[in-house]
Structure 1
Amino acid sequence: MSSLENVFYIQAGLGVLANIFLLFFYSSIILGDRPKPMDLISCQLTFIHIMMILTGGDNMFAKILEKLKLGNDVKCKTTFYISRVMRGLSICITCLLSVFQAVTISPSTSLLAKFKHKVKKHIIYAFFYLWSFNLSFSSRWIFYVVGFTNVSDTHQMKVTKSCSLVPMNYIIRGLNLTETMSRDIFLVGIMLTTSVYMVIILRRHQRQCKHLHSISHLRASPEKRATQTILLLVVFFVVMYWVDFIISVTSFLLWIYDPVILNVQKVVMYAYPTITPLLQISSDKRIISVLKNLYYKCH
């Protein structure tokens, strides 16, 4: 086992544990009285990140399918499809989180203010649409991924130790790449736009706070903290996404996948679902309060 694989397994273990903790936390809030839309979005994102990590490469999910004695081809199609769906949902829900926070903090005089109540009412419909879209959007990969046989004979491109992509002509390869790029560039564009908007709002608010009493500043701090966390998540996501995207596109166009490149890509791809819960835990006062109570009970 290489040092890169060791890094990936440590990263995956930490990511799964942190996300499971958050999933239980947000689920308990949602099952309680009047959950906030932000909690619903965060809960979705946590579940997606758990599935992303579990279906990454030669993973725990694949081992479960092996125990069910399913063929290698079925195992590869299932894990690769779920992995692509979760990757798509990760970018979609992160984008939704960014848009929702931009609408939430927008002043009453802005154009976005009138959408505040509408966004809260239609959040469930947004989830349904995003899941339906990504389940159908990624379905084409079922036809292109197969159980790995022999690269030298079939010109298959290895994407994990046991799975590979079947040969595609340049037109199909170009169409697949264009479709994915169009979706991702559009969503990343929205995230960057809302992020710039939130930075402007925060700066205006900071200027106003200088002329107001310190208590007013304290009241605004939870909202400000949430916005800063989301901005960090968006920036980190965009950086990690583009590194992963450059590796994927280069390998896809050249039809070459090296084992070292695979391991580097896995570490980059799953950095976001590992860092996200840690940022959420450190910035949410409710979670910090729960952890403090647990600590005091244990001591």
Structure 2
Amino acid sequence: MFIFKNVLYFQAGIGVLANMFLLFFYTFIILVHRPKPTDLISCQLTFVHIMMFLTGGDIWLTDIFEVLKIENDFKCKTIFYISRVMRGLSICTTCLLSVVQAVTISPSTSLLAKFKQRLKMYMIYAFFYIWSFNIFYSSNQIFYASGFTNISKTNQMKVTKSCSLFPWNYIIRELILMVSISRDVFLVGVMLTTSTYMVIILFRHQKQCKHLHTISHLRASPEKRATQTILLLVVFFVVMYWVDFIISFSSVLLWIYDPVFLTIQKFVMYAYPTITPLVQISSDNRIIILLENMHSKYHKKFF
């Protein structure tokens, strides 16, 4: 168990550092340069992932609350609520990223091409809707999360060393699960549809350029690299999200949370926000050039 927790802290540390770097990078791009539509979404996604790490059970934010001597019940409600909001925003933002990239690379003859000119305006509306929905939808955590008292008397389900969940009313629980499953199936369906569309576009483009053999044409364009990166992230997200969903659904259904079980769930939950920034950093030419310039200046200064 001790080894599992150390691995979890190490994973969270890498995830926070990588996401913080990306957050500063995208903020700089948005404020100083002319950002691409996907930069705005990626900036929000990195912020969401940082908050996911900070509200992940007994990591960091819990310790901050304890230092400030904030009441345990308020602490638990706040952490559970923010955590659920961020997890919902993660799937919504990833879906939006996939849709926007599909629109961006769509041919001028396609139906999606007419949305290109007003893409940023549509994105602002999308941001407002997904934030509003998740803030409202996750409000049930305020009522069902509480500081842990006595599980033998209240039938609470202990999910951290100091927090637990109250049993839900059967009808409310079924309603919440139905809405959650409907939302997730819809968003994953949209992601898979847009991903299939992008794969088809890339395949057609590859066939059209097959007769070209020069190095300049064989080199992947920035749009193609960005599309391949987003496809990789979407596939990885879908796999990790449904593994996490199955674990969460099973725990709620059985009303059991084993410490090892909880640690494994957190490891799965943190996998996507840890891998995402690493993939983005390694595939974005702007970041690669920035890091190469920083390395070159450092090398000249000290060597």
Whether the TM-score (by the shorter chain) exceeds 0.5 is yes
Structure 1 spans left out of the alignment, 5+ residues: none
Tell me how far apart the structure 1 counterparts of residues 220 and 37 of structure 2 sit (CA, whole Å).
19
Tell me how far apart the structure 1 counterparts of residues 216 and 99 of structure 2 sit (CA, whole Å).
25
The match for 2:137 is 137
Give CA-to-partner distance per residue, 1:137-164, whole Å, 9 cap, x none: 1111110000011222211111222111
The match for 1:70 is 70
Secondary structure of the residue aligned to 1:173 is helix
Q: Which is worse superposed, 34-43 or 282-291? A: 34-43
The match for 2:209 is 209
Tell me how far apart the structure 2 counterparts of residues 103 and 73 of structure 1 sit (CA, whole Å).
45
Give the aligned residue type for 2:87.
Answer: R
Residue 121 to residue 217, structure 1, CA distance change in 2 (3 Å): farther
Tell me how far apart the structure 2 counterparts of residues 42 and 219 of structure 1 sit (CA, whole Å).
24
Give the aligned residue type for 2:210.
Answer: K
Q: Is the 8 A contact 2:15 2:274 kept in 1?
A: yes
Q: Which is worse superposed, 212-221 or 93-102? A: 212-221
Q: Please state how far the C-alpha of 1:216 moved relative to its aligned partner.
A: 6.8
Give CA-to-partner distance per residue, 1:194-235, whole Å, 9 cap, x none: 111111111011000113464773576211110010001000
1:37-116 superposed matches below 5 A: 37-116=37-116
Q: What is the percentage of aligned positions where both structures have the same residue? A: 75
Q: Which is worse superposed, 278-287 or 28-37? A: 28-37
Secondary structure of the residue aligned to 2:118 is helix
Tell me how far apart the structure 2 counterparts of residues 164 and 152 of structure 1 sit (CA, whole Å).
13
Tell me how far apart the structure 2 counterparts of residues 37 and 218 of structure 1 sit (CA, whole Å).
26
Tell me how far apart the structure 2 counterparts of residues 106 and 208 of structure 1 sit (CA, whole Å).
15
Tell me how far apart the structure 1 counterparts of residues 256 and 183 of structure 2 sit (CA, whole Å).
24
Q: Is the 8 A contact 1:209 1:216 kept in 2?
A: no
1:122-161 superposed matches below 5 A: 122-161=122-161
Tell me how far apart the structure 2 counterparts of residues 101 and 164 of structure 1 sit (CA, whole Å).
40
Tell me how far apart the structure 2 counterparts of residues 169 and 84 of structure 1 sit (CA, whole Å).
19
Q: Is the 8 A contact 1:103 1:112 kept in 2?
A: yes
Equivalent pairs, count: 299
Q: Is the 8 A contact 2:89 2:131 kept in 1?
A: yes
Secondary structure of the residue aligned to 1:87 is helix
Tell me how far apart the structure 1 counterparts of residues 238 and 35 of structure 2 sit (CA, whole Å).
28
Tell me how far apart the structure 1 counterparts of residues 138 and 168 of structure 2 sit (CA, whole Å).
17
Secondary structure of the residue aligned to 1:146 is strand
Tell me how far apart the structure 2 counterparts of residues 213 and 117 of structure 1 sit (CA, whole Å).
33
Q: Which is worse superposed, 127-136 or 194-203? A: 127-136
1:1-299 superposed matches below 5 A: 2-212=2-212, 214=214, 217=217, 221-299=221-299
Q: Is the 8 A contact 1:240 1:271 kept in 2?
A: yes
Secondary structure of the residue aligned to 1:117 is coil
Tell me how far apart the structure 2 counterparts of residues 107 and 213 of structure 1 sit (CA, whole Å).
23
Q: Please state how far the C-alpha of 1:120 moved relative to its aligned partner.
A: 2.4
Tell me how far apart the structure 1 counterparts of residues 113 and 145 of structure 2 sit (CA, whole Å).
45
Give the aligned residue type for 1:175.
Answer: L
Q: Is the 8 A contact 1:236 1:272 kept in 2?
A: yes
Q: Is the 8 A contact 1:49 1:86 kept in 2?
A: yes
Tell me how far apart the structure 1 counterparts of residues 34 and 226 of structure 2 sit (CA, whole Å).
19
Q: Which is worse superposed, 275-284 or 65-74? A: 65-74
CA RMSD between the two structures: 1.4
Q: Is the 8 A contact 1:145 1:166 kept in 2?
A: yes
Secondary structure of the residue aligned to 2:164 is strand
Give the aligned residue type for 1:68.
Answer: L
Q: Please state how far the C-alpha of 1:170 moved relative to its aligned partner.
A: 2.2
Give the aligned residue type for 1:32.
Answer: V
Q: Is the 8 A contact 2:212 2:218 kept in 1?
A: no
Q: Please state how far the C-alpha of 1:127 moved relative to its aligned partner.
A: 1.1
Q: Please state how far the C-alpha of 1:125 moved relative to its aligned partner.
A: 2.0
Tell me how far apart the structure 2 counterparts of residues 285 and 202 of structure 1 sit (CA, whole Å).
19
